[in-house]
Amino acid sequence: MLYSPHAEPMLPDLEFHVDRLYQVPPDEFTPARNRLAAQVKAAGDAAAAARIKALEKPSVSAWAVNQLYWRARPDFSAVVDAGDRLRAAQAQLLAGREVADFQDVFSARMRVVGRALKTIDGLAARAGVDLSPSIRRRVQTTIEAIASQGSSGGRPFDGRLTGDLTPPGFEALAALAAMPAPAAGRGAVTAAVSSE
């Protein structure tokens, strides 16, 4: 049993058990969530049980990205770091400074994203979850959004994603990578970055 019926207040490991919900295969999420909510309610915390019961089941693509966070954190961190490096280089360009290695930074980000996608494919296969081509495209879009956001998103990614993220302005960022560094005083190119 996860919780003692005499526990007051709720035991502090509730977040641990909620995190575990986002690690189980998608078809196991709802039964596991309902069991956890029932245990929390039996322990005497009806409000926490209601919050758990209201947790949204992740889409298969969101689940797959969550697995990168939970099971391959170095690869996930590399995606965020690559996004931070690209944002820093972009900020230098937008400030009119020359960035000699911008194309290298952009290419490195693409390699990190590719490696993360391969890792996700392997994690999904080991969990017995088939990522169809359309789901894999959604996974890639979400990884691209995380790579565009880096660590600047305002809301840290916590491995509890329930839906896909979109990298708004990514097309502008990709176009920027193909452009030579602007000379001082020339117009700036901007790229929006997803806050979630």
Q: What are phi and psi of 68, to 5 degrees?
A: -60, -40
Neighbours of 63 (CB within 10 A): 26
Tokens 């993220």, residue located: 165
pLDDT top residue among 184 and 143: 143
Residue 85 contacts residue 108 (beta carbons within 8 Å):
yes
- Summarised one tens digit per residue, pLDDT across range 84-93 is 998 888 888 8
Q: Give yes or no for residue 164 having a pLDDT over 70.
A: yes
Name the DSSP class of 153: S
Whether omega for the bond prior to residue 9 falls within 30 degrees of 0, making it cis, is yes
Q: What share of the chain has pLDDT > 70, as a percent? A: 77
Average pLDDT on 116-145 reads 97
pLDDT top residue among 7 and 147: 147
- Summarised one tens digit per residue, pLDDT across range 41-85 is 999 999 999 999 999 999 999 999 999 999 999 999 999 999 999
Average pLDDT on 167-187 reads 46
**What's the confidence (pLDDT) of residue 187?**
30
pLDDT range class, residue 190, cuts 50, 70, 90: very low
The candidate with the shortest Cα–Cα distance to 54, out of 25, 28, 34, 31, is 34
pLDDT range class, residue 108, cuts 50, 70, 90: very high
Three-class DSSP category at 96: coil
Residue 82 contacts residue 75 (beta carbons within 8 Å):
no
Helices (H), the chain: 14-21, 26-42, 46-53, 60-71, 73-94, 102-127, 133-149, 170-178
